[in-house]
Amino acid sequence: MSLSKNEYGNLAKKYSPPSPVLKDCLFAFLIGGSICTFAEGLNLWFSSSMTEEESRTLAMITVIAITAILTGAGVFDSIAKHAGAGTMVPITGFANSIVSPAMEFRAEGTITGTAAQMFSIAGPVIVFGCSSAALYGLIIYLLKLY
Amino acid sequence: MATRIGKTLITDKKPLFLSSAAVAGKKEGEGPLGKEFDKIFEDTTLGQDCWEKAESFLMKNAVMTALEKAGKGMEEIDGIFAGDLLNQCTGSAFALREFSMPFTGLYGACSTMALSLICASLAIESGGMSTCIATTSSHFCSAEKQFRFPLEYGGQRAPTAQWTVTASGAAVLSDRTDNNLPYIDKLHIGTIVDLGITDAANMGAAMAPAACKTLSEFFRDTKTSPDDYDAIFTGDLGLVGSGLLKELMMREHGTELGGNYFDCGLMIYDREKQDVHSGGSGCGCSAGVLCSHILKSMKEGKYSNILFMATGALMSPVSSKEGESIPGIAHLVNIRRGERK
């Protein structure tokens, strides 16, 4: 083959259709925005009968529960196919990334399958979430010292 | 014994297709070749409790149907050459564990159907076996689980991604000398080619250079050109890969692949209506199309001289994570029908 890897890479790019970025962004904005508006609506509704902290937590739990049910019913991936980052970025994405491997690996046993694989996708989010929280906490602590 | 010209082997015994069978899933049944499959399973689980068992069940069905059509019993089979995409080839091993046949498990990724035909033909050529089976399978759900994400995971597929075909194909090869059945005339074992593609969602681009190498070397060895064949089928290059193959063949060898060139990955689904992006893929894609549409068309006299070249991406989920590029492979079989030459 007379083509170098670089030349072939460019040729392959020419033949590979790009993702429809504008459409993806628009759907992500609309569906992601709707999810966040819905959660805020829940928050406002709950806050009439409890503290703000409790209502926020309950709104989050409700969205997680709805996502888990939709994932279990096999509907969530069909929505996410169009929504992209719109369902992945809110807590819906996190919930789906835990429920879906838990379902998929059920056949491999409760402990070695479901439990072991449950965080196979969400694991990095937890690792980096906790690490960055600790790092920012440390920075704030140090800033307050002086 | 087979004669070697360059890298191409010309068979002496001309192993023939005594029968072939293809079984497929619901989505494939709804595709353009739906009516040509021997059996369609409407339920993706095939009544099994996990995807891996479902895939094994597919292959078991394909082999049993092929045996039935050939009028052969298990004890009459000298060897079965089988492969799939699952780790350690368990799809095949579990499908065939109850079959009392000498078993050879093969792995050539999506190129395995051509590889199994080549191995079965060589076993017949050696004179050691007279009736063999070549079979492969793939299942969308077991492949997704192993290579990508859980089925219910909400992600977006790249436009270059392909859809793993849920299907299995099986062919019974024999050293008989009937004149009316398609037979294997030439074999070409592919060479690994890696032009640095690392995107696991663009297998077509990773496999196209290997397909170009195999096809051009076969034309060189046999002193033939695309026009000498009724049809040339690639396994699962999809829209991206088949476009690249045409471009590479023209650019590197001045050979034009025209109206007689088809890709099984583009034939098995209606790409626009069935939302499969770049087309179908998997061992079951080329096997399913060969063992239904292609061999049926040959028996009906539509084709008498074809090339079947299945392509494979020899990567694993681990190699992708480690940043390795994807080595491609393409094995080719020349199938003819009519008077033996």
Q: Classify residue A14: in a domain, yes or no.
A: no
- A9 to B150: CB separation less than 8 angstroms, yes or no: no
The parent domain of residue A65 ranges over 19-145
Best B151, B156, B321 member to test A by mutation, with max A CBs in 10 Å, is: B156
Give the tokens for residue A14: 């020419």
Half-sphere exposure of B260 (CA within 13 A, CB side): 16
What is residue B341's predicted lDDT score, i.e. its pLDDT?
A: 61
Q: Minimal Cα distance from A67: which residue of B? A: B154
Confidence class of residue B178 from pLDDT cuts 50, 70 and 90?
A: confident
Q: Classify residue A9: in a domain, yes or no.
A: no
Structural domain count, chain A: 1
Q: What is the mean pLDDT of chain B?
A: 96
Which runs of E-coded beta strand occur in A16-103?
Answer: none
What is residue B214's predicted lDDT score, i.e. its pLDDT?
A: 98
Indicate if B183-336 has the same CATH topology as B3-174.
yes
Residues of A in contact with B52 (CB under 8 A): 107
- A100 to B154: CB separation less than 8 angstroms, yes or no: yes
pLDDT tens, residue by residue, B214-268: 999 999 999 999 999 999 999 999 999 999 999 999 999 999 999 999 999 999 9
Domain extents for chain B?
3-174, 183-336
- CA B279 – CA A126 distance, rounded (Å): 35
Chain B contacts to A (CB-CB under 8 A): 49-52, 145, 149-160, 193, 195-197, 202, 205, 208-209, 212-213, 240, 243-244, 247-248, 251-252
DSSP string covering B241-291: HHHHHHHHHHHHH-----TTEEEHHHHSS-TTTTT-TT-EESHHHHHHHII
Q: What is the mean pLDDT of chain A?
A: 95
Q: In the CATH hierarchy, which top-level class contains the domain B3-174?
A: alpha beta
Q: Classify residue A47: in a domain, yes or no.
A: yes
- CA B154 – CA A92 distance, rounded (Å): 10
Residues of A in contact with B159 (CB under 8 A): 16-20
Q: Minimal Cα distance from B158: which residue of A? A: A19
What is residue B95's predicted lDDT score, i.e. its pLDDT?
A: 98
- CA A95 – CA A121 distance, rounded (Å): 11
pLDDT tens, residue by residue, A107-136: 999 999 999 999 999 999 999 999 999 999
Q: Classify residue A48: in a domain, yes or no.
A: yes
What fold does the segment set B183-336 form as a domain?
Answer: Peroxisomal Thiolase; Chain A, domain 1 (3.40.47)
